[in-house]
Structure 1
Amino acid sequence: MKKLNLPLIATLALFASLIFASCKKDHTCECNVGVITYDTTINFVIEDQTNKNAKRMCENNESTLKTYTATMLNALLGGFTADSSMGGIPQFTFTPAMVNASCELK
């Protein structure tokens, strides 16, 4: 019976486990949001995810930010209703299509 080289087997086992293990870490998602002429940057921390999952999660923020920003602006501007003192200005409604959002994993 041949002798087993224990250090070699242990090293190979460690190397194989590192290859197949997914490297999870914290990632930063940077999103630029713009409405009409106002632009801002929002950073999200995506904790303990693989690079592939973090990229997918970051890209999914674009549609969420568009919907949330339009809803927030409509709620904010809803308090400014048209009345006779304003000359009957019609109420303006934001839609998600009016909001620009682009997210990138940093």
Structure 2
Amino acid sequence: MENLGSLNILRIPLANLWDVPAVRQKMETDAAEFAQWHQQWYCSYSDKARADMRTQLGWALENPTYNFQQLLPRVTTSNEDILFYFTYLLQLIEQGECPNESAQQ
């Protein structure tokens, strides 16, 4: 398998799409619950993992022609919807704060 370096961190959010391949539809039908779950999910990671994830989500949005499906086997979500999901995650992350995060800074 190809060494993906820092892009490996994107496998974490991509794994969520195994259970929710129709991510746009899920976001429309369960918006509040979806957002709450993702905020808790994101906050469960270490400070370093969260920082790496934010950085690579930003990179992904700057490189929309990259084939993100190749990062994780069995992801059936289209690249377009993966980018939509990454945009959603980055906005959610930037709007929210993890418990004790402000105390750590």
User: Into which bin does the TM-score normalised by the smaller protein fall?
Assistant: under 0.3
Higher strand share: 1
More helix by share: 2
| Structure with bigger RCO (C-alpha 8 Å, 6+ apart) | 2
TM, length-normalised to structure 1:
0.26
TM-score after normalising by structure 2: 0.26
Larger radius of gyration: 1
